[in-house]
Structure 1
Amino acid sequence: MSAHRNQSSMIATAWFLAGLGAIPFLAMAVAAVISPAFAAAHLGGETAFLGYGAVILSFMGGVRWGRALTLDQPARAAEQMILSVAPSLAAWLALLIDRPWSLLLLAAGFALQAAWDFKSAGTGLLPTWFGRLRLTISAIVIASIGLVLLA
């Protein structure tokens, strides 16, 4: 029972922290739509939004790198490590290119990462709950990117 309780606590913590991580996306996106001047003056505007998106997309690649380190199959681990670098490279490129491509690249990066995580959860490489978490949070992030694109 204690192991189940610990697992439930870890899952709840992951959902809570992922939700907290989505707040800056939502706050900056809503501010960009309602008051672009406020968003620029007090929240860093689109530069801050892109920067935060790049950091979080890179973090998601790091999650996959960490998972790869625990695999017993060296070839599969190497493949996962190589793929886990792609989100950081996409995020970096998003910081270098102009709007709207920068935002579209971030959206594509989050969508592809979510699809990869969800598929991996379905095959047992990642926990099932993590796949659902990634789809949910990625939908919020991608919707926020969409709002910023419209602003």
Structure 2
Amino acid sequence: MTRIPLPALILGFAGVIPFAWGAACILYPELNEWSLMTLGSRMSAPYIQLSYGLIVLCFISGILWGFSATVEDDTLRAYGLGLSCLPTIWAFFMVGDGTMNSAINLIVGFVALLALDVYYNYLGMNPKWWLQLRIMLTILVVICLGITAFA
């Protein structure tokens, strides 16, 4: 098992904080009320998870684009570039039509993104440590979004 670089590990887990904050605000309405009054609506549930989730999904999609762009084989590169666009297209069309639907569609997007990570790993297109990090982060993000979708 390849060791995940410490900066990637720290920043990856820091990136889960807005998802966890949104889940906590769903589970504890008084926290959400405090968040609304103190931090504003953008930092309260469900807005923080849905807007941030949309950004992160597109960000990771862009990382896959970057992995694909470095591939020497023209056919594999074109295939990888095309696949890397799918999560962003999914998010554009499927997120924004209500809290529960948006959260569920983000969950589907993150799980599909993880499937692409597995495929890119199989093709050798990403760093050896990438998949290990993405599995951990995806599990946490899906749990947090699941709280928003189903609580």
Tell me, yes or no, whether TM beats 0.5. yes
Supply the distance in 2 between the matched residues of 1:118 and 1:65 (Cα, whole angstroms).
15
1:39 Cα offset (Å)? 4.7
SS in 2 for 1:49: helix
Does structure 2 retain, via aligned residues, the 8 Å contact 1:32–1:39?
Answer: no
Q: 1:14 aligns with which of 8, 15, 18?
A: 8
Give deviations 1:4-29, integer Å, cap 9, x for gaps.
xxx96x71111111011011111111
1:102 Cα offset (Å)? 1.1
More moved, 96-105 vs 48-57: 96-105
**Map of 1:131 onto structure 2:** 131
Aligned in 2, Cα 1:101/1:124: closer, same or farther, shift over 3 Å?
same
Aligned in 2, Cα 1:149/1:131: closer, same or farther, shift over 3 Å?
same
Give deviations 1:105-150, integer Å, cap 9, x for gaps.
1001101111221332244222231101000000000000011123
**Map of 1:4 onto structure 2:** none
AA partner of residue 58 (structure 2): S
Moved over 4 A (4+): none
**Map of 1:96 onto structure 2:** 96
AA partner of residue 9 (structure 2): W
Q: TM-score, normalised by structure 1?
A: 0.85
Q: What root-mean-square deviation, in Å, do the aligned CA atoms of Structure 1 and Structure 2 show?
A: 2.0
Supply the distance in 2 between the matched residues of 1:39 and 1:94 (Cα, whole angstroms).
27
The equivalences for 1:2-151 within 5 A come to 11-35=5-29, 36-41=32-37, 42=39, 43-151=43-151
More moved, 62-71 vs 34-43: 34-43
SS in 1 for 2:77: helix
% identical aligned pairs: 24
Long gaps (5+) in structure 1: 1-6
SS in 1 for 2:46: helix
More moved, 15-24 vs 116-125: 116-125
AA partner of residue 13 (structure 1): P
Supply the distance in 2 between the matched residues of 1:118 and 1:79 (Cα, whole angstroms).
15
SS in 2 for 1:128: coil
State the aligned residue count. Answer: 144
Supply the distance in 2 between the matched residues of 1:40 and 1:136 (Cα, whole angstroms).
30
Does structure 1 retain, via aligned residues, the 8 Å contact 2:95–2:106?
Answer: no
Long gaps (5+) in structure 2: none
